[in-house]
Amino acid sequence: MRSIASTDEGGDGAMNWLDGRVILITGGGSGLGREIALQSGELGARVAIIDTHAERLETTRADVARTVGDCLAMRSDITREEQVVGAIQETVSKYGQLDTVVNSAGVYWKGPITETPIEEFDRVFNVNVRGLYLVCREAAKVMLPRKSGHIINIASIAAERGILHESVYSPSKWAVRGIGSCLALELGSQGIRVSTIFPGGMDTTFWENDPRRLSGQWNPSGMLQGKDVASAVVQIASLPPDVAIKEALVYRPGT
């Protein structure tokens, strides 16, 4: 982990700030987002999830609800401004507040620049950057009057360095890094924590349409498991409000 800041104000030392608080997770129907939702529920959080996949959304909702008795599931497209506004409003209407947002939704494209359709560029940036920005903006509108809240953005190790044939995906995650850095300055003085997480490659449904998986050439042996990255995210989300972690790199030891 890098950039760990702490104020001089004393806290109660509790390591589960999530207990009883409201957490909204985008991409919550599958992969990393699902794992974060499940683990947050196990810690006593009131969980809301957004996804575009109805069946996966319902499965995760039911699994979280079995732990905490309830879960708000919203089929929403984060690239649509009105749907983001509606999802934030529905969460606050149901639970009365919004304490933590995790921007876990993301899409991928890999290929040489000369073979990259501009439609793929637009698709990746619409979800990974525009959608994330809209969620951050609407969450901030709710959190600022209370001077309390936590926005956690999932970037990628691809925002640490250039990667061959990732001239679309990698820059989208560099943008996530930039948004997080700016918002940490803009919102931090007003009680809103902003954290950016940089996971290494994870073996999750994120890769389900990757040609390597479809052709049987997929080798996940060196990859992180989604539940392990989720554990790191939830631990950061559970910290008391007088501690802020701006950036965290999550990787397998020895890699």
Is 6 annotated as catalytic? no
Given 76, 170, 173, 246, which residue is catalytic? 173
Alpha-carbon distances of 94 from 66, 82, 142, 196, rounded to whole Å? 18, 18, 14, 27
Q: Pick the catalytic residue: 40, 76, 169, 246?
A: 169
Euclidean distance between CA atoms 182 and 185, whole angstroms: 5
Residues counted in the chain: 255
Buried b (16+ CB within 10 A) or exposed e, 82-112: ebbeebbebbeeebeebbbbbbbbbbbbbee
Query: Could you tell me whether strands 243-250 and 2-6 are parallel, antiparallel, or unpaired per DSSP bridges?
Result: antiparallel
- The verdict on whether 95 is a catalytic residue reads no
Q: Output phi, psi for 182, to 5 deg.
A: -70, -45
Alpha helices, DSSP H only, in the chain? 31-42, 54-68, 81-95, 118-125, 132-143, 169-188, 211-214, 226-237
Catalytic residue among 156, 170, 172, 195: 156
Nearest to 63 by CA among 47, 52, 78: 47
Would residue 221 show up in a list of annotated catalytic residues for this protein?
Answer: no
Map residue 57 onto helix, strand or coil: helix
Yes or no: say if 50 and 24 are a contact pair by the CB < 8 Å rule. yes
Q: Which residues are catalytic?
A: 156, 169, 173
